[in-house]
Structure 1
């Protein structure tokens, strides 16, 4: 969707009244179906589709799910709320959109505290959600959507949330966070281990700091084997902003990029250090050609083909049959840190349309779909849970057990996005700066300074 159109839709939404009603009716008439507006594979569409028969069996209600690719979905969500349409009962919302949408979403506090609507799981078992994920994704002040709940480390509790003037505007599902994948077979190869020890004077190990990461990437760049050390995602897009966010937080900066006062926080000494590291990596020769135009899919393909020894991304990785048949194996680890840890993360949530005629049943649906049992079952189709117990329930026979262990640990350390209504535009300006530095078109200092000026203007326009 064009930036101007999104801003226009956001302005219409923010100009409206806070959504909501006097309270849910636990005796609301059961509908024959609930309509759900949902995303594509990036939101785990196959996993959600697998729940339709179970919900029908449990509640006697059909779930009719409409799936759309990301850009079309974003446009559709904004237009549905701007027109006050009652067609969809449930809408999936991505975190970058939430600050602009929150006044048009049904607040769930009165549903969560209604015993009659939570017979099977009191308060939808809020305390089981990963605290950072829950507060970053779903907890807002409708009249001040840039504010954050003070205690985002404690187990979620609806009383504490509403007593502080906040409310819950959805239930988190499909939690994404940057994780590192690596070729376990290469790291465990005795010949590679001996060569690394001889060159660097220490054992070869999965890197835990960015300094170590650069050394390991340099070591595994072995042209005679057609191998590069790592991937990066320096093409202009949200992926480049996400790379920079992770590094900025690691180098001790504010990985959210914008503070609650509406001030950019990336054109800083820590930001320069982070972008300098990234630009050096991009220009080191230790990443595949074309990395300065790469995105999520490009890096996944590079790793799958055996082109790199390491990568990072937001989903389980795979190796091509050729690489696997030759002994290729994948390991997972948290993203490296430096002064701190702060992998970029963001989560989808299932929200209720306040214009729906079936809000109470929509609440039953999103509670059931995000419950631990359903989330655990959906890991078989690579859904990323948002609950602590779901990660604890993933067994060793799950083919992605190692990924889920790393994913759960990383979500607890993650750093989310800025809470601004025009995050998409702000992210674009930062991605341009990242790309300029990575290609050498600008120095990191110049790139960040230029982006800071543009972002500060956007922050003024967004407020």
Structure 2
């Protein structure tokens, strides 16, 4: 989802990695095997967890290690790896059927290729002895869309999605529908809009907007209003641009496009459950046409056609733009005098569809300590621990944690927007080669944004290439 702010080369680095290692994974997926959990499993002296770095807030998780030791009497050893190294290590560990790590963190683009190597958790969740004080790990408290998008799979057909992603999570219903639970969501990311609330509340700005457009200046709720407000706040005399675009070739561009695609009524996952591309449509053309015009409008900073998540965050944080869309709370530099930040859901057209993706903690099917690994991930993702980790800006995955955030919390406006946005988010297609698919879509977005291709031609070219990729992957 949406992870590091400095992975401009990520898509190119790992574009072939998933395809190369997926073949090996599919060949070795059944070697670990699952067995009925034992409530009398011997307690290990330590559990090993493979985790990422800032992409999923490693500092927040690390802060709980002493409490974990006090609670369970087990040392939790965390091996932190930056995104690219982590992805390669996760795939390699499973390809070799290694039992070294008991717990692995999984990003949603990888899950379809990995799911057969993850321990199915329904029999653990429904075992009361393994859930002391938290019957069935209280899975019903997870935000439904987050839980189903992140953790619920049919391992024999990972492309399938749970039929009702808004239903309150219930393990029995999940099993009856032919699915299982393969992890516990821990860090939930979704596109949100940040804006300079000091500028929106400035009497002069408000008066000038009213004089120019004949209506009040408000935080935009539609994409048409967003473009208009971006144009208004592009004020060269103040070295100010209206908003940002991250149209460089990478996941960031794909994520921007799929948010718009879903918003205009298209399939924001980019591919349907039959493994066919779903973005070369009238809605897709409309979405990309909007994005290309925004990128070429002069209302975004120079260099936006090579920008990524980090670039846009820096542009907004330095006071260069009045608005931005990103995936985490932002800060303004000290030299942005009097600057304040507000948050709101990304604008809509016909529907809400902000791109989202969540990291989950999963049990390695090859682990020799599965029962204790399950209890560890259940504890780490429980509401009490997630609430504690919000002090370090964790993005919760449980509804009760969002509901319990107090109004005096400095990040209360961000968390309020984050929770509302997660409830309507749209995830990725469940493809074993999603990284390669995303790359081709990002190229199309960049070509349209730079004017190298028309939006319709860019999407047709990308759709043809994606069709070939999906066919080669067996869809």
User: In structure 2, what is the Cα distance between the partners aligned to 1:15 and 1:338?
Assistant: 44
Structure 2 residue 407 is the aligned partner of structure 1 residue 381: no
User: In structure 1, what is the Cα distance between the partners aligned to 2:16 and 2:314?
Assistant: 33
User: Equivalent residue for 1:10?
Assistant: 22
User: Equivalent residue for 2:5?
Assistant: none
Structure 1 residues 75-98: Cα deviation after superposition (integer angstroms, max 9, x where no partner): 000000000011100000000000
Q: 1:115 aligns with which of 118, 124, 128?
A: 128
Q: 2:440 aligns with which of 429, 432, 457?
A: 429
User: Equivalent residue for 1:140?
Assistant: 153
Matches within 5 A, 1:387-402: 387-402=398-413
**SS at 1:16's partner residue?**
helix
User: Equivalent residue for 1:412?
Assistant: 423
User: In structure 2, what is the Cα distance between the partners aligned to 1:155 and 1:299?
Assistant: 35
User: In structure 2, what is the Cα distance between the partners aligned to 1:107 and 1:272?
Assistant: 40
**SS at 2:358's partner residue?**
strand
User: Equivalent residue for 2:353?
Assistant: 342
User: Equivalent residue for 2:248?
Assistant: 235
User: Equivalent residue for 1:73?
Assistant: 86
Matches within 5 A, 1:11-50: 11-18=23-30, 20-50=33-63
User: Equivalent residue for 2:140?
Assistant: 127
User: In structure 1, what is the Cα distance between the partners aligned to 2:328 and 2:45?
Assistant: 35
Following TM superposition, by how much is the alpha carbon of 1:395 offset from its aligned partner in structure 2, in angstroms? Answer: 1.3
Q: 2:281 aligns with which of 247, 265, 268?
A: 268
TM-score of the pair, normalised by structure 1: 0.99
User: In structure 1, what is the Cα distance between the partners aligned to 2:101 and 2:66?
Assistant: 19
> Is the 1:258–1:264 contact (alpha carbons within 8 Å) kept by the matching residues of 2?
yes
**SS at 1:321's partner residue?**
coil
Structure 2 residue 452 is the aligned partner of structure 1 residue 441: yes
Structure 1 residues 183-242: Cα deviation after superposition (integer angstroms, max 9, x where no partner): 000000010001001111110000000000000000000000000000111000000000
Structure 2 residue 293 is the aligned partner of structure 1 residue 280: yes
Following TM superposition, by how much is the alpha carbon of 1:119 offset from its aligned partner in structure 2, in angstroms? Answer: 1.7
User: Equivalent residue for 1:157?
Assistant: 170
Q: 1:254 aligns with which of 267, 273, 279?
A: 267
User: What's the Cα RMSD here?
Assistant: 0.8
Matches within 5 A, 1:98-113: 98-113=111-126
Following TM superposition, by how much is the alpha carbon of 1:265 offset from its aligned partner in structure 2, in angstroms? Answer: 0.6
User: In structure 1, what is the Cα distance between the partners aligned to 2:431 and 2:45?
Assistant: 38
User: In structure 2, what is the Cα distance between the partners aligned to 1:384 and 1:271?
Assistant: 30
Matches within 5 A, 1:289-328: 289-323=302-336, 326-328=337-339
Following TM superposition, by how much is the alpha carbon of 1:4 offset from its aligned partner in structure 2, in angstroms? Answer: 3.0
- After superposing the two structures, state which structure 1 stretch, 17-26 or 130-139, moved more: 17-26
Following TM superposition, by how much is the alpha carbon of 1:21 offset from its aligned partner in structure 2, in angstroms? Answer: 1.7
Structure 1 residues 3-36: Cα deviation after superposition (integer angstroms, max 9, x where no partner): 3332121112123344542211111111111000
**SS at 1:436's partner residue?**
helix
Aligned length: 461
User: Equivalent residue for 2:383?
Assistant: 372
**SS at 1:147's partner residue?**
coil
Query: Residues 347 and 3 of structure 1: is their aligned pair in 2 closer, same or farther, counting only changes over 3 Å?
Result: same
Q: 1:204 aligns with which of 208, 217, 237?
A: 217
